[in-house]
Amino acid sequence: MKENPMGNNDIITAIRAQLGEPTLNPESKSGRRAYLDIPAERLEQSSRVMLDEFGARFQIATAVDTAAGYEVLYHWALDENDCVVTFKILLEHSTPELDSIALMCPAAEWIEREMWELMGIQFNGHPDMRHLLLADDWPEGNYPMRKNHGATS
Amino acid sequence: MNGAINALTRSLNVFHLGGSACNNCDIEILDALTPRYDLERFGITLVGSIRHADVLLVSGIFNRKAAIRAQELLAQVPKPYLVLGIGGCPCTGLMFRDSYNWDRPPSDYMQIDAFVPGCPPKPEAIISAVVKVVEGLRSGALVPRCLQESGGMVEKAATEVADTA
Amino acid sequence: MSKRTIIPIGPYHALQEEPEFFKLHVEDETVVHLDIELGYNHRGIEKLSESKTFEETIFLVERICGICSTSHPLACVQAVEDAGNIKVPERALFIRSAIGELERIHSHLLWLGLAGHFIGFNTIWMWAWRFREDVLNILELLTGNRNHYGMMKPGGVRRDINKTDIPVVEKLLDDLQDPIKMFRDAVIQDPLIHARTKDVGILTLEKAIAYGALGPTARASGYDIDVRRDHPHAAYSMVDFDVITCEKGDVFDKAVVRILEMFESIRIIQQCLKQLEKFGGPIDSNPRFVAAGEGIGQYEAPRGEVFHYVRSDGSNRPIRHKVRAPSFMNVPTNRETVPGSTVADATIILAAVDPCYCCTERMAVAVDSICGDRLLDSRDLIRLSCEKTDRLMAETGLSGPSLPNY
């Protein structure tokens, strides 16, 4: 463990400075949690910052189907600062697409497959996109975790 | 009692068939082999191939993928054999009943002779179930469901629920 | 020309309790490629959670895994408490850690037994599981069940630990020290175990970091992470313990980390019990609702960090519940550790990650196509592993770990 690690509020400030001052979501109640709004096109660059500049550990990603669109959350652990920084990326329901970060972050490879097959998010550039959990003959276009907001049938 | 069924009443080869289980029942089954319960003293051994099985201990709900594999495997078991559903999952599906990845109860395509409820049932309950089933075979009260033409509920078939010890 | 063979392990493999499929692509005796196929355990728990209340979902996630059955509830209640800003009384924090560490001991003993079985030492299996029974007895005394304890709830724990039970638990912990020392010495010092596990299945530090490996799998490679220390929760900031790491990341190191961690678990439980004996207090803050918000809960399960994310809209159900078990990050590391090994070693390498497929809701599987003229099934693979041990015994004159005959 580092000597005198930065307090978690300080590390969040430092991260935001490097990421172009993304909005700090009101959910970020304590220094231990920070939820940052990241535009989709800045995902790869922001992930690199977390990995290379701050030595963050990719924990997992979560796709959420909300009325406003698909939110894709990337959770990064800062083990030396007792902090979890979460990227929040909002995608339109009509274009659920993101660039894959699997090549720079092998830890993300499986979860991108899972988010595709359960939520229907396309990950451009994924090295091995195919079913992870569901059977190969699972009906195409059937994404079990979707809530179909606004659907009338 | 015919010779084949008679063979089921002693020196049982047990095969564990887990399908989408949380493992607790599976570990309790393995536990039954360890010194505290020591199933081996009853002449019961765990086998690694379903082709050698006399008794199938079935655990889990069997999701869509597992159900297909299970049906392939079941075709390989030589008759007669017994099937015991271990734990709440093969009994009712428990809280996984509404899952999008669950098709139908294992009892729809497996002829389950006895259910051992519990989450998980204790090793004593599993042993008790095996003993009861063997006694049922000996007395003729239990006819293995795999031998029954109808495959449905037959008066003599005992789908007994083992008492949890 | 070397033959290429595909060897399926699974889906119903005697040495791994769950259906899964690893397909080894083999040239002569060396594994050149590993395919992993999952899906035999996927029960759609995240979706099911959205139709359960916050209290019901704890029972649901408990049944994600039978071995680490309190790890998921612990992470889940912490996520709910994080989302809803719910406080937990101090007494409950000590109970949480005590139960969690008892689970760690039983899980590591379970793994030790299975690992011994895989390489042909059934004596280790029988002894490890025999002492595991004592731990399960204590868990039954404290919680009412050997497995699936039902202890956690948002805001605290569901049952208190009686003062009269504390001496019983303390005695068990004292009585466990010698057997764990026995395992430590039998495994760490035995040259035959060394021959089977040292330099086998090495996961480098660099790869451990790249894959986001967790728990003993990571710490064996020198990746010094432990959620108990790094993201303190439950009672871990109030007790002393050491985080065990090794350097090489081979199967041997993974075993060493797990064995030595058991001593630390005993230390933690003893400290928790002292607090519980001295002080009283409530065990539940009785939250009435979960305010709208999002929360993250992390817990160091026996296999590594369990991560839960919960989003609440102020109603009585989670509108999103993400579950990530440690094996989801650890199982892919097999792609680095298995290729290059021999077929006889593949099984122990796969087992060294302590895969909890039900947690991962996946099964490792292999491809369907079969080529080559030699096909081994799962029994052959165990046999190969045990034969290697026999061969080593004959060549070296060693007799394996010295444990009394049970």
Q: Do A135 and B100 touch (CB under 8 A)?
A: no
- Does residue C350 carry a pLDDT above 60? yes
Q: Do C296 and A33 touch (CB under 8 A)?
A: yes
Q: Do C12 and B69 touch (CB under 8 A)?
A: yes
The per-residue pLDDT for C21 is 64
For chain B (length 165 residues), average pLDDT per consecutive 10? 74 85 86 75 79 90 88 86 93 90 88 93 90 87 81 37 35
pLDDT, tens digit, for every residue of A96-147? Answer: 999 999 999 999 999 999 999 999 999 999 999 999 999 888 999 999 999 9
Q: How many CB pairs under 8 A join A and B?
A: 6
The per-residue pLDDT for B12 is 85
Beta carbons of A75 and C307 less than 8 angstroms apart: yes
CATH class label, B3-147? alpha beta
CA distance A24 to chain C (A): 14
Strands C21-27 and C30-37: antiparallel
Give yes or no for A144 touching B (CB within 8 A). yes
Selecting from B34, B65, B69 the residue whose C-beta is nearest the C-beta of C129 gives B34
Percent of chain A with pLDDT over 70: 92
- Does residue C26 carry a pLDDT above 60? yes
Selecting from C230, C295, C311 the residue whose C-beta is nearest the C-beta of A79 gives C230
Q: Do A33 and C230 touch (CB under 8 A)?
A: no
CATH number of A8-94: 3.10.180.10
Q: Work out the average pLDDT over C205-231.
A: 97
pLDDT, tens digit, for every residue of C356-382? Answer: 645 433 222 222 223 443 445 556 667
Give yes or no for A39 touching B (CB within 8 A). no
Q: How many CB atoms lie within 10 A of CB C256?
A: 22
- Does residue C2 carry a pLDDT above 70? no
Q: Do C40 and B63 touch (CB under 8 A)?
A: yes
Within the 106-135 window of chain A, which residues sit less than 8 Å (CB to CB) from chain B? 134-135
The per-residue pLDDT for C52 is 94
pLDDT, tens digit, for every residue of C300-317? Answer: 999 999 999 999 999 999
Test the C interface: residue of A27, A65, A115 with most C CBs within 10 Å:
A27
d(CA C351, CA C330): 11
Please report, for chain B, the start and end positions of each structural domain, with discontinuous segments joined by +.
3-147
Q: Do A132 and C362 touch (CB under 8 A)?
A: yes
Q: Do C130 and B35 touch (CB under 8 A)?
A: yes
- Does residue A30 carry a pLDDT above 80? no
- pLDDT band at C232; cut points 50, 70, 90: very high
CA distance C14 to chain B (A): 5
Domains of chain C in sequence order? 4-40+339-396 (no CATH), 45-202+231-239+260-328 (1.10.645.10)
d(CA C181, CA A104): 42
- Does residue A89 carry a pLDDT above 90? yes
Please report, for chain A, the start and end positions of each structural domain, with discontinuous segments joined by +.
8-94
Q: Do C324 and A60 touch (CB under 8 A)?
A: yes
Which chain C positions have a beta carbon within 8 Å of A133's beta carbon? 38-39, 42, 361-362
